[in-house]
Amino acid sequence: MKALIVGLSLASSLAFQPDPAKKTEKNLPPIAHAGQDLTISVTDFAQLDGTASVEPDGLISRYRWTQVAGKPVTISNPYAAISAIEGATAGEYVFRLVVTDEKGSSGIDEVKLTIK
């Protein structure tokens, strides 16, 4: 009877040990790159470009551009990696890019656009 109890005890303790081959993978957040600060002329086409953003262990599933400073302008497609700016006049503007991966982690970057 003692051998059976020891055998069951050993089997049950082995059954609940974590599998060393299955490591818990940590989700690395994406790295947002809103681009270099830029100075352009009022006659130039203004656009935002977040295509240099990277996700080291997955996919970027969402882009989101918002304006955080300057006279209000329209971001033609705030959910695209590249988007045009409409209605900008001479002045300084700051835009924030938030990129989110498929697991919900986010990265943030800002870019300053000066229009002369």
Name every residue whose Cβ is closer than 8 Å to that of residue 84 and which is 6 or more positions away in sequence.
45, 46, 47, 48, 75, 76, 77
> Over 50: is that where the pLDDT of 1 sits?
no
Q: What is the DSSP letter of 50?
A: -
Threshold 0.85, pTM exceeds:
no
Higher per-residue pLDDT: 2 or 52: 52
Residue 16 lies inside a defined structural domain of this protein: no
Give the domain range for residue 42: 28-115
Domain at 76, CATH number: 2.60.40.10
**In this predicted structure, what is the pLDDT of residue 37?**
97
> 26: pLDDT confidence band, cut at 50, 70 and 90?
confident
Residue 10, domain member (yes or no): no
Q: Is residue 33 situated within a structural domain? A: yes
Q: Is residue 5 part of a domain?
A: no
Report if residue 48 sits inside a domain.
yes
Q: How confident is the model at residue 39 (pLDDT cuts 50, 70, 90)?
A: very high
Give the total number of structural domains in the chain: 1
Q: Are 60 and 70 in contact (CB under 8 A)?
A: no
